[in-house]
Amino acid sequence: MRVLVTGGAGFIGSQVVAALAARGHEPVVYDVLADPASDVRSPGAVRGALSGVDAVCHQAAMVGLGVGFADAAEYVSRNDLGTAVLLTAMADAGVRRLVLAGSMVVYGEGRYECPRHAVVRPGPRAVADLTAGRFEPRCPRCGAELSPGLVGEDAPVDPRNVYATTKLAQEHLAAAWARAVDGSAVSLRYHNVYGPGMPRDTPYAGVASFFRSALARGEAPRVYEDGRQRRDFVHVRDVAAANVAALEATARRGALTAYNTGSGEPRTVGEMARALAAAYGGPEPAVTGEYRLGDVRHITADSARLRAELGWRAEVGFVEGMREFARAGMRQGVPG
């Protein structure tokens, strides 16, 4: 299979390219890092890149929370306009298979249970609560403490920052394209991806990159809130394998199918920071009590659908992955 990989020179995309090649496919890299003319917002360049292509693996995106709402227009341009241009070119070229780099951020907060009201969805956390160190969401009906759990793909979506909003819009665009052209679209809703080749020293990255960058500078990783936020840290090679599995699976035409893509091992941010610092041999993490507006408290998802339907499972364990990541090189950070 000849597969166009947008963002194929980036952190995740380069691993997807390697995984495809290892399976005997022909990956084609389309990335501004490799060629400044390879922008998914350029209709002519995209049309040319699609020649002879059987499928597209769309990894190109501006990621992370960035530096604030001032980045909104750039996020929408890179992520949503870029996806619309790509899908239009695919429709014209007769390419009918798409795997999209989705994200768990589309859910907003994860799944919570109240002892009195069962499953509830707390609203966005208030600035006053965050400033006072009250980080845990409360039941919106009775104010009781909540128990976090795993969120499934059928849960309501509730994006809570600009990046999350653009990732959901990408899914809606892909679904509309699939219906219009009878195409096959899969969104892999990545959890917190980490591993060799992460960008360093950039606000456009994940928490694992922030911590590893600090350690490389000889500084203590700075952990926001109280460090008890629950996340699912999934290794980049496992994410690449999920992309290959989705591309090789029997196509489901005319709709978009979403799959949570996580390790299945929920960990706290503080736990990850300590494990990484210990493996690196660097300073102990500093829990700051600071916060970023737009961050959610807990988000861990159930990847059972991906395992059952595509036969994929995470292979790299948390301890093993953090030890490797502590020793691995990083790349110079770029905005997207």
Active-site pick, 30, 107, 112, 163: 163
Is 107 marked active-site?
no
SS3 243: helix
C-alpha torsion sign, points 80, 85, 91, 94: negative
- Give the whole-angstrom CA distance, residue 149 versus residue 254: 32
Amino acid at 189: R
- Give the whole-angstrom CA distance, residue 193 versus residue 234: 5
Across 49-172, the runs of DSSP E, i.e. the strands, are 55-58, 97-103, 111-114, 118-120, 147-151
Q: For residue 66, which of 54, 78, 58, 75 has the smallest C-alpha distance?
A: 75
Pairing relationship of beta strands 199-200 and 111-114 according to DSSP bridges? unpaired
Name residue, tokens 């926001």: 224
Q: Which residues form the catalytic set?
A: 163
